[in-house]
C-alpha cells in the first residue's frame, strides 16, 4: 500500500508540473513580448477565483487558467493521498484509523473550500 501511495504522490507532482510548464509556456508565447510597466500596478483578473472557472478556462485554452489548474492539481495530490489511505484503512476494517483519516480528510476539504 505504501508503494501505491508513493506512486500517487509522484504521479500527482509530475502531472501538476507538466500542466504548469505547459501553461507557463503558453502564457509566455501570448504575452512574453509585452512591455511591463513596474510603476503602475494592475491587479490580476478575477475570473479564476473558483475551481470550476479554472477548469472551464483551461478547457478553453486560457494560459493563466492552465497554470492555475496545475496548482490545483498540486494541492489536490496530498488530499488524494489521504482519500486513498482512508480507503485502505476501510478495506482493512481498522475503525480507529478510518475515523482519524476521515477527520483529517474533512478538515482538509473544509479548509480548501471555505
Structural domain includes residue 99: yes
Using 50, 70 and 90 to split pLDDT, how confident is the model at 3?
confident
The per-residue pLDDT for range 12-70, each reduced to its tens digit, is 999 999 999 999 999 899 877 777 777 777 776 678 788 888 899 999 999 999 999 99
Query: Could you tell me the pTM of the whole model?
Result: 0.79
Number of domains, the chain: 1
Structural domain includes residue 41: no
Q: Say if residue 1's pLDDT is above 80.
A: no
Structural domain includes residue 81: yes
Whole-number Å distance between alpha carbons of 78 and 97: 17
Domain span at 90: 2-30+50-113
Structural domain includes residue 36: no
Structural domain includes residue 101: yes
Provide CB contacts within 8 A for 30, sequence distance 6+.
63
- DSSP state letters, the chain: -HHHHHHHHHHHHHHHHHHHHHHHHHHHHHHTTS---TTS--PPPSTTSSHHHHHHHHHTT-HHHHHHHHHHHHHHHHHHHHHHHHHHHHHTT-HHHHHHHHHHHHHHHHHHH-
Displacement of CA 53 from its chain's centroid (Å):
14
Please give the pLDDT value at position 63.
92
Please give the pLDDT value at position 93.
94
Tell me how crowded residue 3 is: count the other CB atoms within 10 A of its CB: 7
Structural domain includes residue 39: no
Amino acid at each position: 500500500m505504501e508503494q501505491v501511495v508513493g506512486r500517487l504522490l509522484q504521479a500527482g507532482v509530475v502531472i501538476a508540473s507538466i500542466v504548469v510548464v505547459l501553461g507557463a509556456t503558453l502564457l509566455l508565447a501570448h504575452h512574453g513580448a509585452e512591455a511591463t510597466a513596474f510603476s503602475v500596478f494592475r491587479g490580476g483578473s478575477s475570473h479564476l477565483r473558483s475551481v470550476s472557472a479554472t477548469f472551464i478556462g483551461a478547457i478553453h485554452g486560457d494560459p493563466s487558467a492552465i497554470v492555475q489548474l496545475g496548482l490545483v492539481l498540486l494541492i489536490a495530490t496530498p488530499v488524494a493521498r489521504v482519500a486513498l489511505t482512508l480507503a485502505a484503512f476501510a478495506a482493512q476494517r481498522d475503525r480507529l484509523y478510518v475515523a482519524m483519516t476521515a477527520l483529517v480528510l474533512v478538515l482538509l476539504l473544509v479548509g480548501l473550500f471555505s
